[in-house]
Amino acid sequence: MRKLLLLLLIIISSCASNATEKNVATMDSYKTVVNFLKWYKTNYDVANNYQYKLTGRKDTVNNSIGNFYVNFDETEKYLQKIKSSNYISDKYLNKWRAYFKECQEDFNKDIHDLPSGFEYDFILITQDVWLDGINSPKLISENELENTANIKIDIGMRLEFNLSKIDGIWKIDNISNLGLEELDPDFGIALKFINDYTIFCNNTSKSISIDQWISQNSLLTDTFKKRYKYILDSALINEPEVGLDFDPIFDGNDYPEKGFSILTSEKKTHFVTVNGIDWNEYKVTLKVIYQGEKWLVDGAGIINIPIDKQARR
């Protein structure tokens, strides 16, 4: 009798679990989130082509490089592309419109590089853009009420979605990235990269160019490589005869030829600062991210590093 009772409890528990999973999978708010992410994966390249055009750089009166500025025509095209998914609310779009206006003030303060935020993917709020997990999302938690819902999922990065029901249809109002705080960043990857780069720069008989070395480097994310190319291409457009007059990875013209060692690191933000072995005052900030089940370098010098995080010398 005891064994029979135990068996019944197991069966009931299993059925309840399956019913819960079915209910979640068929919840309209959950389906809205998953369908939007699948749409974004399919349209990722198009959307990000818009994002790279969201800023420009004005020439000053004396024909030198001026401040960055927000290209509001392109920001609206970008937002309309996201809206075309039919999963996004006007509240979400208006939040970004307000953000772009605020960023115009930041652009007026510095001509060195993009303000904090523009080096991130706007949809996923991360530099760690990992889209493969979208095909098999894992539910963390869900809370669907009559007109509002909160969904947390894991697609290789943990995301939180706030939704509201508008005319009977669920729309996404906000997306937050919950991060990967439980993982210990491998800052050794950043150190290896910067020291490998130093060795390459020291080599006076290079068989390939720096651009080729960057594009072939397996320690770097695609986001890093695209941003590196964008910075160099933009500099050539603005200054055809000179281009970028400093190394964007070292963030300077000179560098410690004997390499670097780790000075400080931030587990939560994944930033690490290195300084020269033979030049202690020379510092470079790098950032690592977890992508494809391994740690990679996603920022260094001025590449994908916010202005307030760039090393000061």
121 band by pLDDT with thresholds 50, 70 and 90 = confident
- pLDDT averaged over the chain? 82
The dihedral through the CA atoms of 247, 249, 251, 255 has a sign that is negative
| Range among 41-50, 56-65, 214-223, 283-292 with highest mean pLDDT value | 214-223
Q: Please calculate the CA angle 284-287-292 and round it to the nearest 5 degrees.
A: 150
Q: Which residues pair with 161 in a beta bridge?
A: 151, 175
- Residue range 26-30: mean pLDDT, rounded: 82
8 A C-beta contact, residue 165 and residue 146: yes
| Range among 11-25, 169-183, 212-226 with highest mean pLDDT value | 212-226
pLDDT for 8: 33
| pLDDT of residue 126 exceeding 80 | no
Q: 297: which residues sit within 8 A by CB, 6+ positions away? A: 189, 190, 193, 219, 220, 221, 224, 286, 287, 288
Q: 188: which residues sit within 8 A by CB, 6+ positions away? A: none
- Residue range 185-190: mean pLDDT, rounded: 94
- Residue range 45-52: mean pLDDT, rounded: 70
| pLDDT of residue 116 exceeding 70 | no
Among 209, 303, 199, smallest CA distance to 248 is for 303
pLDDT for 119: 66
pLDDT for 3: 39
12 band by pLDDT with thresholds 50, 70 and 90 = very low
Q: Which residue has the higher pLDDT, 228 or 4?
A: 228
d(CA 35, CA 276): 48
d(CA 111, CA 222): 25
| pLDDT of residue 40 exceeding 90 | yes
Q: Which residue has the higher pLDDT, 217 or 9?
A: 217
pLDDT for 66: 59
Q: Which residue has the higher pLDDT, 160 or 60?
A: 160
- Residue range 109-136: mean pLDDT, rounded: 72
- Residue range 100-114: mean pLDDT, rounded: 70
pLDDT for 4: 38
Q: Rounded to two decimals, what is the model's pTM? A: 0.53
5 band by pLDDT with thresholds 50, 70 and 90 = very low
pLDDT for 7: 37
- Residue range 299-308: mean pLDDT, rounded: 92
